[in-house]
Chains A and B, each alone.
Chain A
Amino acid sequence: EVVLTQSPGTLTLSPGERATLSCRASQPVKSNYLTWYQQKPGQAPRLLIFGASIRATGIPDRFSGSGSGTDFTLTISRLEPEDFAVYYCQHYQPSPLFGQGTRLEI
C-alpha cells in the first residue's frame, strides 16, 4: 500500500516569502490522481490543486503544483496572510489516502 509522507511537518515563514511543501509517495503513483488541499482552523479542507499541477477553480496563481512519480511539490510563490494553514496531499491507490499534513505558520 502506498504511503504519502509530507515534509516538513511545520514550516515557519513570513508574508511575502516563498513556500515549498513536499509530498513523497512510497512507490510511484499516477500524477493524474495527486491532489492538494488547504485546511484552515475550524474549516473543511478546500481543494487547491489536482492532477498534480492543475489549479482548482478560484485558486490564485501564486499556488502551483509540480512533480511526478514519487515526488510532488506545492509551491506558494508569495505568501499572503490568508495562506497560513495546514496543507494535505492526497492520492487514490487503491483507495483515498492522505499525507499527514504540513502546517504553514507565521
Chain B
Amino acid sequence: LAKTTQPISMDSYEGQEVNITCSHNNIATNDYITWYQQFPSQGPRFIIQGYKTKVTNEVASLFIPADRKSSTLSLPRVSLSDTAVYYCLVGDIRVGGATNKLIFGTGTLLAVQP
C-alpha cells in the first residue's frame, strides 16, 4: 500500500481557498486517490476521488500531476464548518483490486477561523 504524507495541520480564514497537498511517492499503477473529511466523533465522509489530472465536484477539486506522486485537494471559499480532519488515501480500490481496503494516514487538521 502506498504510504501518504500530509501536513499535520493547516490554518485558514473564512472565504479563502485552501489547498491541502498529499505526497504518495510509491503510488502504484492501479491506485486511486481518495479524500475523506472527518468531524470530531463522527465517521469519515467521502469528499472526492481521482486517478489523474483534475476532478471536480460540488464541494472540492482534486489536482493530480502527471507523475501521480502527489495530489492536492482544493476547497474553495472555506467556512467555519469546514474545520475538520482531511485524509488522503491511496489504493487500488477497484472491485477485485489488490488493495480492497482503505488505510488511513495521519490526516490534516484544517482549522478555519473567522
Binding partners A and B: no
Instruction: Spell out A's residues near B (CB within 8 Å).
Output: none
